Structure 1
Amino acid sequence: MSGVQTLVDVQGATLAEAIARHVRDGHTVAIEGFGHLVPTAAAHEIIRQGFTGLTLARMSCDPLVDQMLAGGCVTKLISSFVGNSSAGSLHELRRRIELRDPEPLEFEEYSMGGMIARYTAGAAKLPFAPIRSCTGSDLLALNPMIKSVADPYGGGDIHVVPALNPDVSIIHAQRADRAGNIQAWGMLGIHQEAAFAGTAVIATVEEIVDDDIVRSDPNRTIVPAGVADAVVVCPRGAHPTSVQGYYDRDDRFHRDWSEHSYDAAALRAWIDRHIRGTENHEGFIAGLGPGYWHRLEVGERLSAPVNYGGRR
């Protein structure tokens, strides 16, 4: 039942239509996935549609962030980790922060624990969350959003961070059923919290499966039907990151990214060719060239069966 960019909702839109429906200039957009299940295709669609003035919330920065910055979409970044996933630098991000070139970037920095706490508070509809991960660090001087409050139970002062409730949260997952129950496995990062914290939620998935498959293993459902506003089938939508059981991480792409992004003009030419110059993610994947995908194929390694049997 898999296909390209089919939406599981009452209006039956494509990924382009889902992005156009839910994203607006100036929005805070969370795009999550920790080196796995990163919704790259959705980020590229935001670039294609030319959204500007966005605040991007992303716990760990990667080439996707470089691309959205160079695409002119982002004016503020909320994050905790900056780096090209052990493969080099994010030169566009460095230009914006270190040289203010071509314009300064507002950077609201937290620890990873701080970002998790923000999403968790947002998902629980709480105003803030307590943390200890920034104690003794320079983050307290760099980020005035991290505040100190008295422990009402007598434990002394503790730091707190504000809830994060993005206008739009975007995630990628392995599969969903026709009702929009989203299932994922492997390294999940902050997917579930980000989804529940979002005012609107867009999920891209590798495939749509029969309802009985999801019912047969309900514990893999990280976002139940009714939470996501749009569930779009987008095979290979997380490239160059991995999707457990579907394809491997594209290490070569990550290594090459440092070269692509080192020169600002070359980076923008890359975006014009591979993102703006393609109609959709299927076009982006085709542009990588024939045979590109063979080296990212993964073998089959099935988990053991789980007995969900109940009372006879």
Structure 2
Amino acid sequence: MVAQFMSLKDAIATCVQNGDTIAMEGFTHLIPHAAGHEIIRQQKRDLTLIRMTPDMIYDQLIGAGCARKLVFSWGGNPGVGSLHRLRDAIENGWPCALEIEEHSHAAMANAYDAGAAGLPCAVFKGYRGAELPRVNPNIKFIECPFTGERLAAVPAIRPDVAVVHAQKANRKGDILFEGIVGVQKEAVLAARKSIITVEEIVDDFTDIPFNAVMLPNWAVTAVVHVPGGAHPSYAQGYYKRDNAFYKAWDTIANDRERFRDWIEQHVMQGGPQDFETRLKAQQTKAEA
């Protein structure tokens, strides 16, 4: 199956269904905020959200009532503090109760690798002396049949949909990432379907940097052109991280009514074009 070029609205409507397991990856960089907002606008419900480092976009999805479960290995507003909507869901069941399954970074990375390889589980050295196995029944220990060594095992991550942001797609639907890439490649290869939002669509890739990762079009379901689609995170070569917004989010998310007002104004009444507009405003402010 070759990647299809779609609008963001059509990509989410086509690929994401209520009750799906969704992985939206990006490690401080290339976080797919625009796609997350479209999921909120379409009021998708009962989602299992997977992400190694859930931060602002998952706080928004949880606060908007999209999630029933979170699988993660660290959660917070980087450099600022807590995710208030995540905490409210866990502690008070608002707007709905949230189940959590916590892992280590190593476990999540290995589980994505296993999913991409079509394996049922990941086996690795880890969790020795750790507390997480006491509260997470999906962490098991097995004995290596060759050495007798005690190893950790976790289920493979096989999402219904992986959603990531990248710098470029060519007109065949191949994808180019560069910079800090996290586990985007593994998430896409592990998933049944994938949505890739990109900064730019080009005829072909030229001057490919040393640290680039490419995904072939046969691994991609939908390609969506959304300039600024990772804002307020950054896209190397296109724009910087909007640190001021991460700080502002702490105040917005700390109050239910303020959060609801923000979602209504900036998400429900917005669209992908708003990301490019906000990005241009940020860049103009920086130049002034």
Q: Settle same-fold status: TM greater than 0.5.
A: yes
Larger Rg: 1
Q: How big is the shift at 1:133?
A: 3.0
Runs of 4 or more consecutive aligned structure 1 residues displaced over 4 Å after TM superposition: none
Stretch of structure 1 that moved more, 94-103 or 12-21: 94-103
Distance 2:117 2:275 in 1: 37
In structure 1, stretches of 5+ residues that fail to align are 1-7, 298-312
**Amino acid of the residue matched to residue 281 of structure 1?**
P
Distance 1:137 1:294 in 2: 48
Distance 1:207 1:69 in 2: 29
Distance 1:171 1:268 in 2: 25
| SS of corresponding position for 2:181 | coil
Distance 1:296 1:202 in 2: 31
Task: Specify the alignment match of 1:217 in structure 2.
Answer: 208
Task: Specify the alignment match of 1:310 in structure 2.
Answer: none
Distance 1:32 1:291 in 2: 26
Distance 2:183 2:3 in 1: 24
- What is the 5 A alignment of 1:141-220? 141-211=134-204, 213-214=205-206, 217=208, 220=212
Contact 1:88 1:255 in 2 (8 A): no
Distance 1:89 1:137 in 2: 23
Q: Is 2:48 the counterpart of 1:58?
A: no
Distance 2:38 2:263 in 1: 12
Deviations 1:156-181 (A, max 9, x none): 32110110110000111110110111
Deviations 1:172-212 (A, max 9, x none): 1110110111111110000110010010011011001112x
Q: CA separation of 1:148/1:69 partners in 2, compared to 1, >3 Å: closer, same or farther? A: same
| SS of corresponding position for 1:130 | strand
Contact 2:72 2:101 in 1 (8 A): yes
TM-score computed with the length of structure 2 as normaliser: 0.94
Deviations 1:69-98 (A, max 9, x none): 111111100100111011222101011123
**Amino acid of the residue matched to residue 235 of structure 1?**
P
- What is the 5 A alignment of 1:131-150? 131-150=124-143
| SS of corresponding position for 1:149 | strand
Q: CA separation of 1:285/1:178 partners in 2, compared to 1, >3 Å: closer, same or farther? A: closer
In structure 2, stretches of 5+ residues that fail to align are none
Distance 2:141 2:111 in 1: 15
Aligned length: 285
Contact 1:39 1:170 in 2 (8 A): yes
**Amino acid of the residue matched to residue 114 of structure 1?**
A
| SS of corresponding position for 2:101 | strand
Q: CA separation of 1:118/1:235 partners in 2, compared to 1, >3 Å: closer, same or farther? A: same
TM-score computed with the length of structure 1 as normaliser: 0.87
Distance 1:196 1:235 in 2: 24
Distance 2:92 2:36 in 1: 25
Identity of aligned residues (%): 42
Distance 1:284 1:145 in 2: 38
Distance 1:41 1:291 in 2: 16
Q: Is 2:250 the counterpart of 1:251?
A: no
| SS of corresponding position for 1:291 | helix
| SS of corresponding position for 1:85 | coil
Task: Specify the alignment match of 2:35 in structure 1.
Answer: 42
The two structures, once aligned, show a CA RMSD in angstroms of: 1.8
Q: Is 2:15 the counterpart of 1:22?
A: yes
**Amino acid of the residue matched to residue 48 of structure 2?**
T
